[in-house]
Amino acid sequence: MNNCFRKNGVALFNQDCLEVLHSFPDESIDLIVTDPPYTTTPRGNAGNSGGMLQKKINKDGKVFTHNSITALEYAPEFYRLLKDGSHCYIMTNHIHLIEFLNTFTDLRTDEERKQGKKPYGFHFIKSLIWNKGNKIQGQFYMSQFEYILFFRKGRGVKINNCGTADILDIPNKKTKGADGKNLHDTEKPVELMKILIENSSQPNQIVLDPFAGIGGVPRACIQSGRKCIACEIDPTYCETMTELVESETLCKL
């Protein structure tokens, strides 16, 4: 495949994730950790990041150039790719909570519903809370957290460190460019991604992030000794991710 960077167990694709995912065989992935795009309201509380981000939301509710993909399109692929007994973490806000829970736990197509097929899909284990530390002004309480929906496919497998609390207090620190601006407005901290990855996979297993932004997940994988497949459709974000992953790889040498 072209437009792909590969180094030391990390493969980064500057491509629509659906095209990339379709090319992988069933049950080839050990863990999914991802922060999917979604539209949000141009007024009120974005839930995801708020603050400066609110000012960048256009009238279509778009933060990124590419955020029209829906959970209905990718959730069945996530299920097909994951091995039995593996975990899947989806980051989201309150606006998309119900949609994500409904879609991930019932993957039937319209046709299958008509035929009366029984519901099948991910098992919802629980929601974790990412306490970002900073508070964002809103109309209905200030926002200080995001949801991390924790699913499993098939049989139940414990996390590696059962002493981890379900509220994760990790400061919301963004990587800045030379101009002092955020390189990505919804970047997730590497420290947060490491907790999820180290609890739900073993060294050298394959972690997938189909919506990688500037690569919090692949960078965490390098630090944690996991392999990683990451996709990002936007060329600018993907270029930044490649640079950050390269410097992370050098730090490891």
Binding site for ligand SAM (CB under 6 A): 16-17, 35, 37, 64, 66-67, 69, 184, 186-188, 210-214, 216, 231-234, 237
Contact by Cβ (8 Å): 140, 153? no
How many Cα atoms occupy the beta-carbon half-sphere of 49 within 13 Å? 22
Residue 91: beta bridge partners?
A: 148
Amino acid in position 48: N
Helices vs strands, H then E, count in the chain: 8, 9
Residue nearest to ligand SAM (CB): 213
Alpha helices in the chain (DSSP H): 17-22, 52-56, 71-81, 97-105, 110-114, 190-200, 216-224, 235-252
How many Cα atoms occupy the beta-carbon half-sphere of 113 within 13 Å? 5
Contact by Cβ (8 Å): 42, 97? no
- Residue 16 or 99 with smaller CB distance to ligand SAM: 16
Min dist. Cβ of residue 64 to ligand SAM (A): 4
Residue 113 to residue 119: CA distance in whole angstroms: 8
Listed in sequence order, the residues at least 6 apart from 25 whose beta carbon sits closer than 8 Å to its beta carbon are none
| φ/ψ (deg, to 5) at 118 | -70, 145
